[in-house]
Amino acid sequence: MVTHTGEKPFECDVCKKRFSVKTNLKRHYRVHTGEKPFECEQCGACFRQHNGLSSHLKTHSGQKPFSCVDCGKKFSRLSHMQSHLVCHTKEKSFTCSLCSKMFGRRDSLKKHMKIHSEDKPFLCMDCGKSFAHSQQLTVHAVCHSEHKPFFCGECGKTFSKKDRLKDHCTSHSGSRTFACPDCGKAFVRGEHLKYHLKNMHDKK
């Protein structure tokens, strides 16, 4: 009966968003925890919602029920088809009021606006660090994982991210490809340049 009255007695203690049904609150918590309990048995991809997994499974079956009305290109997901439609219009009618960056879709602008706000609802349960976007949390979570699939053929060291392996490989070549834009000093690794900028030029 609560859904008919509009009453929302179930409140999220993280962001204060309210829900009329307790199960919806439970599902909502996954936004903050990063929990993705629905796993694809074929590739290991995980999803917060069951319908996300159902939609994903179509990529393995080859089923593409969504067609673009302009060019006929087919897609396995409706969201992919909708994103594709923007390429036919080239129209970017949604503008950020803070930095003037323009977007073709309202949801892209909404996602972008989080960059300018202090709102970071995606919390890492391992270290407490929070992020504005769920993708950022997913990328960050790798640093807590022991899974390091990127292998250096020179010394055998493994890394959790491809860019860290690429950065590491420069230490074998001795190539100083990371140059300071302020003083010109060059470094073998990008993290060394970041340290230099922060401590010598007071840049974050």
pLDDT on residue 59: 73
User: Which pLDDT score, from 0 to 100, does residue 152 have?
Assistant: 75
Domain extent, residue 167, equals 150-200
Strands (E), 44-133: 46-47, 66-67, 74-75, 94-95, 102-103, 122-123, 130-131
d(CA 94, CA 109): 7
In a domain, 133, yes or no: no
Instruction: Look at residue 173 in the predicted model and tell me its pLDDT.
Output: 67
Stretches in the chain below the pLDDT threshold 70: 1-4, 89-91, 118, 145-147, 154, 160, 170-175, 204
Each as own residue / partner, the long-range contacts of residues 111-114 (CB below 8 Å, 24 or more positions apart, any chain) are: none
pTM of the entire structure?
0.32
Q: Is 23 contained in some domain?
A: yes
Residue 8 lies in a domain: yes
Indicate whether 50 belongs to any domain.
Answer: no
Residue 128 lies in a domain: no
Instruction: Write the CATH number for 17.
Output: 3.30.160.60
- What pLDDT is stored for residue 174 in this prediction? 66
pLDDT at 72: 80
Tally the domains of the chain: 2
Position 11 in a domain: yes
Q: Which residues contact 54 (CB under 8 A, 6 or more apart)?
A: none
The answer to the question of residue 15 being in a domain is yes
Predicted local distance difference test score (pLDDT) of residue 108: 77
Q: What pLDDT, on a 0 to 100 scale, did the predictor assign at position 1?
A: 52
Question: What is the DSSP code string of 18-51?
Answer: EESSHHHHHHHHHHHH----EE-TTT--EESSHH
